[in-house]
Chain A
């Protein structure tokens, strides 16, 4: 029983299974409570300092608080400076809360994984063949361990002896067991999974503390999170803007002094007011949500049951412009299927179907089964009981390259055209030219022709074809719109490959693929400046997986493949790559959109604060003011600035909705939503906050 990809053959999309990693709801009370506590702990200046924008807010909050106490003592406007300080603290807390929320979901997941790791015992096999019980963490690379039915596999490794069914649900969430056996591409086992039957000997391939499970826990917790290249570039932009706005705000003090002395009236704005202006102008919205967006992006990949080894890999997925997809299992259904019976002259289709079915009754290959199915579906030929026919079955062999059945003196055979020709000629018959034509045509169209003959008489040809999964063509055309080129990898000859490629609608194909020419193809694409993504599972895929910018290894694959790639798909579903690409894009879009929104917001905040700041010196500026009074104007802007962070947490965690479209269309839409509305929306919001403040007599 071998686990096949959990893909619905009709749609090609991942089937709904019951994942153990059921993602917690976005705002689950438990996570929110924990995030609220974490938000306070994250006030540690050393932690905040990692984010220059929020660090400026923190300093601003501290400075305002000083002035609040000063006002308390000096009987100044403590109500005002107190509120300003409060909201500045809230601004930092809200940003911390966003980050804690994003981390919270991973933390919950990590805890359940930790349980799987705890207190595992291993049966270590000594050099003399004797077993010894040791705790799992004491295992070293190269040690041999024995696992029998019911045992937990204590560490990552390769099966070197035996075959067993293994329950990997602890890692993958998939409850159906999988087969693991020595040799070949299904030898890798993961620590923390359970052997259900039989006995295997596993050679440990990991050093202590570096197991797949350890890495997985570290990843979901975000402990290993490093800033991705685009995130670094964006942080630089935001820091630069912060410094520019610091200049703009700091210089306002001498400007105001000049104005006051020139006008001979009014007052220089107080430090809390200047601080408020600064905090409102610097990009706190994106600055506060930036790390939450990154963590949430990783989390979304996780929810797809894909384990990304780094945020860099997820980001690179968004940049991918070439997608290498294996034909079998990804683009086509696993096996070729009979699609038509083409009879020879003077033979009816039913006659051919009957003979073909007869020859395939004992053929347990998927191709053979599909002939039986087609005969039944197209001609209503019932499946006959093999035993009652008293037939003598001829199995497929590499020398004859035919299979069939002998019933009495009827010798029915099906097989490759040249083999069957020899068989017919041996029986004194010939292959009619029409049949040869059909054979050639089917081959040209990318199918596989099987000739059916009975003794010396050729009955016709069965057409076997690769069945392209439903919906793939649509999917590839969407990818094309997104600017992603799809390449089909297949071992078929170029002719067959071309026909299937055309039918599936991929942009290019690599026929007669070998590990070497796969690697060469990737290098050639990369030399042209493209980023390449691929999936793979076999050991011989490892070099290509390592070379690709995004290499997704199937969890069913070998250890070598898993280590070479930068993502592991726990569902082993090759189509998943497309979802990962979309998540990568969504991650970048969310960052860009919130940056635009953040900067666009500044216009309204200027309109709120600047007139309020100087109206005492220049009463004419009252004409620009749309708010109640100077104090409420400044407060309203600061409150808006803090609340918008909270309001956008769901967007930051879920990501901006992404529909595959051309870049031009995506940009137009996002520019309108986050740019134009980013300019307009704050006006009514700040106005409303201002009214509420006045109503509550807070300003």
Chain B
């Protein structure tokens, strides 16, 4: 690994560190209803939206009503998106005349589920599929809404710890409106201006056909890119305006913007750790969570960068020394690509500026592993914090027993109910990834009645002619261990609400669209529900004062314990699967075996 690569990682980390506290303090004020410097300018927007929603600003919901609000909001907005996608041919802002042929039912289901759950998995090429209206309304709206909902859930869980003997955990509507108005909107506005200044398009023009210097004709896709690009990163959505996502020069024109993009991915999740500390009345608690995330991030980034820089020994033997440049933009180079891949999978962003499929086996293992930890390494906006707090509950339970007391976290006893709910969430994630992968990897299933029947569904044929028409394994462009990694990655990405892909797999088939769509819904909502239940239960509890007998959760020991729990409990489950994918591939490669 080169020095400049290490510096790139450290500079990036330094920038994240720099924004953590200011953003954290700001969000704490926003969600505790205090006045900020933005209130004079934006207060009217919050007030009028709440009035329109008929919600009082001091509304306080018990957890089940909070959860019902979230589910209702998600269900309705998902249905609207589905309708727009299906009807885009009859709706305005459609200069390229996209219609139902491009958007069959299973794809519309997958896509609307994908954006509602903050996953932004795209099994289609946007520029060949979506009208501008579909992009801006049906999808981009979720980039805001799902991000705001994620933040809201995290804040609700933090309130569970911060409050005591309380019935409510805040109001979903107030939290969503505040997250949007004060957090997402202002930062996106500024960010979009910077992007436009740096050359990212923001227009409603039809695609432009130009004659290149060589005299060839080339079509340039156009559209309101900048406004969607910024929320794609800031809201850890990841759904690109173009198929090439952040490796497209219109989305990500230069190295400066590239750095800005990955800082934006981590900005809110990192800030939320500080908000958490602030709201529970001890900022060291927030920094401890931040530290655990940082350890996991830095380890992943350094492994990924060094693996990519080492490259493929088969090529090195041939005298090619450049490391692994396959699937990477020359503009960004190896370190910025590997760093981007680590960041986008630590967080549940899923934007990509390089093809993860082309990474070295261990380099590609890092993104896969990151997703399978449950995306708690800073994680998605809100999702990262609540996921990490779920692991903290498990860590505190095991560690707390070891100090000889009923475990407590932040003064709240961790008892049967909390353990039950946290285990339920872990169980659901593991089951979704492992079982769906098993289904897809099973060659027999592809040939069987159910798998084959799906292929006869109308609209199944969308996709390149070079792709096999099968349901599952037949759709892999790579055989062997790498093909397995691709399937595993797809369901990990879906369940983890990441949205990045190992590509190489043609996912736009009824089978993949349905199963990955389900995985996304399961991964999002069956994780949120138990955590909101925990929040409600914690809020009701009394606060136990900390004594010397209390297991301290703001020090180094806790950080070690938390990191260990994430790795052992979170990822141990996937070790056999990983062994059959990236690990085998690695030894195949270093064993100088060619297939």
CA distance A558 to B475 in the complex (A): 80
A400 to chain B, nearest CB (A): 50
CB <8 Å contact, A251 and B438: yes
Instruction: Say whether A551 faces chain B, with CB atoms less than 8 Å apart.
Output: no
Stretch at the interface among B68-76, B349-357, B575-583: B575-583
Known: A233-B397, A603-B568, A620-B587. 15 other contacts (CB 8 A): A232-B416, A318-B405, A319-B406, A483-B547, A528-B545, A589-B402, A592-B402, A593-B402, A596-B398, A599-B572, A606-B572, A610-B576, A614-B580, A664-B552, A671-B560
A587 to chain B, nearest CB (A): 8
CA distance A600 to B561 in the complex (A): 12
Among A244, A252, A527, A585, max chain B CB count under 10 A is at A244
**Contact partners of B250 in chain A: CB under 8 A:** none
Task: Pick 27 A–B contacts, CB within 8 A, sort by A.
Answer: A236-B419, A237-B423, A240-B423, A240-B427, A241-B423, A257-B442, A257-B443, A259-B584, A262-B483, A318-B406, A319-B405, A480-B548, A481-B548, A483-B549, A529-B544, A530-B544, A589-B404, A606-B572, A610-B579, A620-B584, A621-B579, A621-B583, A624-B583, A662-B549, A663-B548, A663-B549, A666-B403
CB <8 Å contact, B572 and A602: yes
CA distance A277 to B431 in the complex (A): 18
**Contact among B406, B430, B434, B481 for A230, CB-based, below 8 A:** B406
Interface 1/0 per residue, A228-255 and B, CB below 8 Å: 0110111011011101110111111111
CB <8 Å contact, B576 and A606: yes
CB <8 Å contact, A318 and B587: no
Instruction: Say whether A321 faces chain B, with CB atoms less than 8 Å apart.
Output: yes
CA distance A674 to B583 in the complex (A): 28
Interface size on A, residues (CB 8 A): 80
Instruction: Say whether A670 faces chain B, with CB atoms less than 8 Å apart.
Output: yes
CB <8 Å contact, A248 and B415: no
**Which range contains the number of B residues in contact with the other chain?**
35 or more
**Contact among B443, B561, B564, B576 for A248, CB-based, below 8 A:** B576
- In the complex, the chain A residue whose C-beta lies closest to that of B581 is A255
CB <8 Å contact, A252 and B576: yes
State which residues 376-429 of B face A: CB under 8 Å: 394, 397-406, 411, 414-416, 419-420, 423-424, 426-427
Instruction: Say whether B591 faces chain A, with CB atoms less than 8 Å apart.
Output: yes
CA distance A668 to B559 in the complex (A): 11
CB <8 Å contact, B484 and A591: no
Interface 1/0 per residue, B532-575 and A, CB below 8 Å: 00000000001111011111100101001100100011001111
State which residues 249-302 of A face B: CB under 8 Å: 249-259, 261-263, 277, 281
Instruction: Say whether B593 faces chain A, with CB atoms less than 8 Å apart.
Output: yes
Instruction: Give the top 10 A-B pairs by smallest Cβ distance, nearest first.
Output: A483-B549, A592-B401, A585-B404, A240-B423, A483-B547, A620-B587, A592-B402, A483-B548, A663-B403, A251-B438
B164 to chain A, nearest CB (A): 8
CA distance A256 to B480 in the complex (A): 11
CA distance A239 to B569 in the complex (A): 13
**Contact partners of A258 in chain B: CB under 8 A:** 441-443, 473, 484
**Contact among B401, B480, B584 for A595, CB-based, below 8 A:** B401
CB <8 Å contact, A529 and B411: yes
Instruction: Say whether B588 faces chain A, with CB atoms less than 8 Å apart.
Output: yes
CA distance A397 to B404 in the complex (A): 53
Among A243, A249, A253, max chain B CB count under 10 A is at A243
CB <8 Å contact, A600 and B568: yes
CA distance A282 to B48 in the complex (A): 54
Instruction: Say whether A623 faces chain B, with CB atoms less than 8 Å apart.
Output: yes
A227 to chain B, nearest CB (A): 10
Instruction: Say whether A344 faces chain B, with CB atoms less than 8 Å apart.
Output: no
CB <8 Å contact, B430 and A244: yes
**Contact among B439, B484, B549, B551 for A262, CB-based, below 8 A:** B484
B523 to chain A, nearest CB (A): 15
**Contact partners of A663 in chain B: CB under 8 A:** 403-405, 548-552
Among A251, A259, A620, max chain B CB count under 10 A is at A251
A18 to chain B, nearest CB (A): 31
**Contact partners of B480 in chain A: CB under 8 A:** 262-263
CA distance A480 to B444 in the complex (A): 65
A340 to chain B, nearest CB (A): 37
Among A229, A230, A484, max chain B CB count under 10 A is at A230
**Contact partners of A667 in chain B: CB under 8 A:** 399, 402-403, 551, 557, 561
- In the complex, the chain B residue whose C-beta lies closest to that of A656 is B402
CA distance A663 to B406 in the complex (A): 12
**Contact partners of B397 in chain A: CB under 8 A:** 233-234, 237
Query: Known contacts A244-B427, A321-B547, A621-B579; is A259 also within 8 Å of B484 by CB?
Result: yes
A592 to chain B, nearest CB (A): 3
**Contact partners of A596 in chain B: CB under 8 A:** 398-399, 402
Instruction: Say whether B20 faces chain A, with CB atoms less than 8 Å apart.
Output: no
B284 to chain A, nearest CB (A): 13
Instruction: Say whether B114 faces chain A, with CB atoms less than 8 Å apart.
Output: no
- In the complex, the chain A residue whose C-beta lies closest to that of B541 is A529
- In the complex, the chain A residue whose C-beta lies closest to that of B436 is A251
Query: Known contacts A528-B545, A592-B400; is A599 also within 8 Å of B569 by CB?
Result: yes
Instruction: Say whether B131 faces chain A, with CB atoms less than 8 Å apart.
Output: no
CB <8 Å contact, A586 and B404: yes
CB <8 Å contact, A233 and B405: no
**Contact among B550, B573, B580 for A259, CB-based, below 8 A:** B580
Among A236, A243, A484, A662, max chain B CB count under 10 A is at A236
CB <8 Å contact, B401 and A234: yes
**Contact partners of B587 in chain A: CB under 8 A:** 618, 620-621, 623-624
Among A233, A482, A599, max chain B CB count under 10 A is at A233
CB <8 Å contact, A529 and B573: no
CB <8 Å contact, A668 and B442: no
**Contact among B402, B438, B548, B584 for A254, CB-based, below 8 A:** B438
**Contact partners of A664 in chain B: CB under 8 A:** 551-552, 555, 557
Instruction: Say whether A396 faces chain B, with CB atoms less than 8 Å apart.
Output: no
**Contact partners of B398 in chain A: CB under 8 A:** 237, 592, 595-596, 599
- In the complex, the chain B residue whose C-beta lies closest to that of A658 is B404
**Contact partners of A611 in chain B: CB under 8 A:** 579
**Contact among B423, B484, B593 for A236, CB-based, below 8 A:** B423
CB <8 Å contact, A251 and B549: no
Instruction: Say whether A588 faces chain B, with CB atoms less than 8 Å apart.
Output: yes
CB <8 Å contact, B580 and A255: yes
**Contact partners of A261 in chain B: CB under 8 A:** 443
- In the complex, the chain A residue whose C-beta lies closest to that of B577 is A255
CB <8 Å contact, A530 and B568: no
- In the complex, the chain A residue whose C-beta lies closest to that of B431 is A247
CA distance A594 to B426 in the complex (A): 21
**Contact partners of A668 in chain B: CB under 8 A:** 557
**Contact partners of A241 in chain B: CB under 8 A:** 423, 569
**Contact among B394, B403, B415, B484 for A589, CB-based, below 8 A:** B403
CA distance A300 to B498 in the complex (A): 51
Instruction: Say whether A404 faces chain B, with CB atoms less than 8 Å apart.
Output: no
Instruction: Say whether A180 faces chain B, with CB atoms less than 8 Å apart.
Output: no
CB <8 Å contact, A255 and B435: no
**Contact partners of A618 in chain B: CB under 8 A:** 481, 580, 584, 587-588
B413 to chain A, nearest CB (A): 9
Instruction: Say whether B205 faces chain A, with CB atoms less than 8 Å apart.
Output: no
CA distance A233 to B484 in the complex (A): 37
Interface 1/0 per residue, A649-679 and B, CB below 8 Å: 0000000001000111011101100110000
Instruction: Say whether B246 faces chain A, with CB atoms less than 8 Å apart.
Output: no
CB <8 Å contact, B441 and A254: yes
Instruction: Say whether A538 faces chain B, with CB atoms less than 8 Å apart.
Output: no
**Contact among B405, B431, B542, B588 for A529, CB-based, below 8 A:** B542
A679 to chain B, nearest CB (A): 9
CB <8 Å contact, B573 and A244: yes
- In the complex, the chain B residue whose C-beta lies closest to that of A481 is B548
Query: Known contacts A483-B549, A620-B593; is A675 also within 8 Å of B564 by CB?
Result: yes
Interface 1/0 per residue, A295-337 and B, CB below 8 Å: 0000000000000000000010011010000000000000000
Instruction: Say whether B437 faces chain A, with CB atoms less than 8 Å apart.
Output: yes
CB <8 Å contact, A623 and B591: yes
